[in-house]
Amino acid sequence: MTDKEHEMENKTDEKILVLLVDDETGFRRTIAKRLGKRQMAVIESPNGKACMEILEKEPVDVVVLDVKMPGMDGIETLKAIKKVYVKKIQVILLTGNAAVSDGIEGIKAGAFDYLTKPVEIDHLVNKIRQAADMLRFETEKQKEQEYRLNLEKKMINTERLASLGTMSTGIAHEINNPLAIINESAGFMKQVVQSPEMAAFPQKQALLTGIEKIEKSIKRARKITLQLLGHVKQQSSQIGECNVKALLFETLSLLQNELDDKNISVQWEMDPEKMTIWSDPYKIRQVCMNLLSNAIHATQENGSITLSGYMIDSDVLLEIRDNGIGIPKENLGKIFDPFFTTKSFDKGTGLGLFVVHKIISALNGEIHVKSEVGKGTCFTIRFPKYTKISDGTDKMERGQIK
Ligand SMILES: Nc1ncnc2c1ncn2[C@@H]1O[C@H](COP(=O)(O)OP(=O)(O)OP(=O)(O)O)[C@@H](O)[C@H]1O
Ligand SMILES: [Mg+2]
């Protein structure tokens, strides 16, 4: 039996919660008692208003509703139920013997079905079961639709990021050469402006300020191309056994000054086992560097960063947690986008996480983030031991990166 079948069977075992709405107390009590004997949970209500109040609190599956009631009648109550609970609750109407038109009006307003009084109990039980089955079917259908929609959204996002990645690395390549020429020319201009012959030039200072602005912008543009091209220097990259723990430790020591400046403590909670994968250490170091520097930027003075690592089967699971400022909910969907940053022009390019995402996708890994404003952020990464070649076969190749 599959999980789904098992789940369905369990669901069938669950008691159906029925809300019985009728102003005739004697009739209501008798029906409630008899439904109870047939494995149904029953709540009673004497009128439409009380019915609506109960529905706010109880997870009712089926409402059995008398049409002729003083005050809010059955049809009115049915309309109110359908307005609020649409597909979450099914309604069966109980009409008077000669009032078929009420039943038809009820069906038009969304009732599952109607029965005429006096009610035959087994007939009512069958109708309630059918209504509950329909409800389960609708819920499953809705869940499946939501799941498919989420999956599609996720796929579109990954594809979008992948194509943006390809495009932006291409652009970064093209920009690198003119950038080098601009840099060289700016250096030359600075030299000329600072030479003794230019000492009396009236706009010397304005020229120097202009050149410095050019240099500052070159620095930023370089930071961008460096991030984007950092992980495509394939020719020289060495694929081999990477010790993730050692690489993380190495990156951490490169950031020691920044940690000391803010007096940030680092908790090290690592699996004593060796944590190795087949990959490019340069890329793994870049992932660690980008995530750790983000954590440091987000953490206040005397804050803390916790680094945890485990082996799950043969994959490596890494957690980088900080108790910093956190990420607002509305930004969580954007942080992996290129150029999304909340930092100032000279502090952030918004490419760090974009590059991290790209590297991890290429390794067939996964990255997840959890964050709460004011409490902190936790990035979880799963590195597979080997990179799968996605040609439809399950073949593994050591050290091969797509
Ligand atoms: N650990 C974190 N805590 C809080 N916010 C974070 C954290 N990591 C990332 N962010 C948010 O995500 C944004 C994007 O991060 P990303 O690393 O891509 O770019 P950046 O850090 O702004 O710039 P760059 O890394 O290029 O210097 C950041 O500006 C910040 O708002
Ligand atoms: Mg960053």
Read off the pLDDT of each residue in 308-320 and give the average, rounded to a whole number.
92
Q: Among 4.10.520.10, 3.30.565.10, 3.40.50.300, 3.90.400.10, name the CATH number for the domain at 240-397.
A: 3.30.565.10
Q: Looking at residue 98, what is its pLDDT? A: 60
What's the 220 CA to ligand 1 centre distance in angstroms? 16
How high is the pLDDT of residue 86?
A: 78
Tens-place pLDDT, residues 169-184: 788 888 888 999 999 9
Ligand 1 within 6 A of 350 CB? yes
Tokens 């008798």, residue? 30
Residue 300: how many other CB atoms lie within 10 Å:
12
pLDDT band (50, 70, 90) for residue 164: confident
Sequence ranges of the domains in the chain: 3-119, 162-230, 240-397
- pLDDT of 283 above 90: no
Is residue 1 pLDDT above 60, yes or no?
no
Could you tell me if the CB of 377 is within 6 A of ligand 1? yes
Q: Which helix (H) or strand (E) holds 265?
A: strand 265-270
**Paired tokens of 222:** 């370089």
d(CA 158, CA 360): 12
Q: How many CB atoms lie within 10 A of CB 286?
A: 20
Locate all alpha helices (DSSP H) within 88-203, ordered by sequence. Answer: 100-108, 121-194
Q: How remote is the CA of residue 130 from the centroid of ligand 1, in Å? A: 53
Rounded to 10 degrees, the C-alpha dihedral 169/230/360/254 comes to -150
340 Cβ below 6 A of ligand 1? yes
- What is the three-class DSSP state of 151? helix
CATH of the structural domain 3-119, one choice from 3.40.50.300, 1.10.645.10, 3.40.50.740, 3.40.50.2300: 3.40.50.2300
Distance 311 CA to ligand 1 centre (A): 27
pLDDT of 138 over the 50 cut: yes
Ligand 1, atom 5, residue with closest C-alpha: 327
Taking 70 as the threshold, does the pLDDT of residue 85 lie above it? Answer: yes
CB of 320 closer than 8 Å to CB of 123? no
Closest C-alpha to ligand 1, atom 13: 341
Closest ligand to C-alpha of residue 331 is 1
Is pLDDT of 394 > 90?
no
388 pairs with which residues across the strands?
Answer: 396
Phi, psi values for residue 382, rounded to 5°:
-115, 120
Q: What's the 284 CA to ligand 2 centre distance in angstroms?
A: 15
The mean pLDDT of the chain is: 86
CA distance 384 to 89: 45
Of 223, 230, 288, 226, nearest in space to 255 by CA = 288
- Report how far ligand 2's centroid is from the alpha carbon of 353 (Å): 6
Residue in the structure block whose two tokens are 């076969």: 393
What is the Cα–Cα distance from 314 to 301, expressed in whole angstroms? 37
Neighbours of ion ligand 2 (CB under 5 A): 294, 352
Q: Ligand 1 pocket, 343 CB below 6 A? A: yes
> Which pLDDT belongs to residue 189?
94
Is residue 290 lining ligand 1, measured as CB closer than 6 Å?
yes
Query: What number of other Cβ atoms are within 10 A of residue 97's Cβ?
Result: 8
Phi, psi of 47, rounded to the nearest 5 degrees? -160, 175
pLDDT reported for residue 7: 42
> Please, which pLDDT band fits residue 97 given cuts at 50, 70 and 90?
low
Residue 281 has pLDDT above 80, yes or no: yes
- Token duo for residue 241: 């056994």
Q: Which ligand is nearest to the CA of 335?
A: 1
The answer to which of 106-110, 172-176, 319-323, 335-339 has the lowest mean pLDDT is: 172-176
Ligand 1 centroid–CA 299 distance in Å is 12
- Kindly give the pairing relationship between strand 315-322 and strand 276-279: unpaired
CA-to-CA separations, 55 to 32, 64, 121, 232, in angstroms, rounded? 17, 13, 24, 59
> pLDDT per residue over 368-386, tens digit each?
999 999 999 999 999 998 8
